[in-house]
Structure 1
Amino acid sequence: MQRRKFIATAVVSIPAIALGETLLTTESRTDKGFVVKANESRFKETTKLFGGTSPNDIKVSSKDTSGNLTVFEYTGNVKGGPPLHIHHNQDEIFFIIEGEYTFKINDTYYELQKGDTIFLPKKEPHAFTQRSEKGKMYFMFQPSGKMEDYFRKLATFKGQPTPEEGAKLFSDHDMEIVGPPLE
């Protein structure tokens, strides 16, 4: 009799567990649309990269999407970009608003300019560099992962992190450096 009661309780509990996970997932999701104005960021938070010269604003936060998507607007006021790296858990999409960029996915190079979009699948080695003096782009991660925190931490550096600091920063945020930045 006890076994029958245990099995019945377990079977009845499965939908309750699934419902509980759904409620927890949607709890942190925004339930209303919103607008983020030009040159502003969601929650009024701005991270500035390259020694404080280049704003990287969150437009749509992981808090808005239950961690499913984060969108950034980056204004590049200096040339350069990240080292060749892999995101183990996120796809990435870039949409160029202004400037000229070179992207590398595996061994293939792409030249992008205003209006161009590039998709970078997770687990594919990639890097980019801003070639123009000024640039602007929207880029997004799906799912969000730890990317908002990564940029917050990166913004605390006065300049470029040392190779050791960079490797730790990437590793702490589920990424891996696999080569140097593009020239």
Structure 2
Amino acid sequence: MKVKSNILGADAIEWLGVHYKTILKAAETGGAISVVDSVSPAGSGPPRHIHHDADETFVVLSGDARFWVQGAECTRGPGETMFIPRGSEHTFRVLSSTPCRHLVILTPGGFEEFFHEMETGSYRIPEDMVTINECAAHYHMSFTGPPL
């Protein structure tokens, strides 16, 4: 059963405590871009990973997050952005005691479907990493290390 986010509305999905709502699909832009509205709980963040074919931009709307990109760290808060060039190993962690809401913009688009596959399969980290890695490869992404 899908857990719906009150913040993001009835069509949001939830995977590992993070709520996602695709607000611009790659299919709507001829593949040029996709935008996902995301709410990550305090202390959360993905394992290190690389998007091999897409640039990723975060626009932080609320909360604070520490970003790690190619070994360099910085913090971003509301109204700030973080650009991650394709091919760059990166991750982030929510620092604030409240959730961090951010837009995730990928160019080109298409990666937004990864979250739907993860939610549908109810995959867990680290238990299901073999399957998660296989799915990630389909979206030109690879996991490279632990979260912050």
With the shorter chain as reference, the TM-score category is: 0.7 to 0.9
By how many angstroms is 1:77 displaced?
3.0
Which of 101, 104, 119 lines up with 1:139 in the alignment?
104
Which of 122, 126, 135 lines up with 1:169 in the alignment?
135
Relative to total residues, which structure has the larger helix share, 1 or 2? 1
SS of 1:138's equivalent in the other structure is strand
> d(CA) in 2 for partners of 1:79 and 1:159?
17
1:181 is aligned to 147
> d(CA) in 2 for partners of 1:78 and 1:119?
21
By how many angstroms is 1:159 displaced?
4.1
> d(CA) in 2 for partners of 1:154 and 1:130?
20
The alignment status of 1:124 with 2:88, answered yes or no, reads: yes
Quickly say closer, same or farther: Cα 1:164–1:113, change in 2 above 3 A. Answer: same
Report the identity percentage: 24
The alignment status of 1:77 with 2:41, answered yes or no, reads: yes
Q: Which runs of 5+ in 2 are unaligned?
A: 1-6
SS of 1:153's equivalent in the other structure is helix
SS of 2:27's equivalent in the other structure is coil
2:8, 2:20 within 8 Å by CA — same for their partners in 1?
no
Q: Which 10-residue stretch deviates more, 172-181 or 114-123?
A: 172-181
> d(CA) in 2 for partners of 1:130 and 1:165?
25
> d(CA) in 1 for partners of 2:92 and 2:102?
12
How many residue pairs match? The answer is 139
Relative to total residues, which structure has the larger strand share, 1 or 2? 2
1:91 is aligned to 55
TM-score with structure 2 setting the length:
0.84
2:73 is aligned to 109
2:62, 2:99 within 8 Å by CA — same for their partners in 1?
yes
> d(CA) in 2 for partners of 1:73 and 1:90?
17
By how many angstroms is 1:161 displaced?
4.8
Indicate the RMSD between aligned Cα atoms, in angstroms.
Answer: 1.8
By how many angstroms is 1:180 displaced?
1.1
Higher relative contact order (CA 8 A, sep 6+): 2
By how many angstroms is 1:158 displaced?
5.8
SS of 1:127's equivalent in the other structure is strand
SS of 1:63's equivalent in the other structure is helix
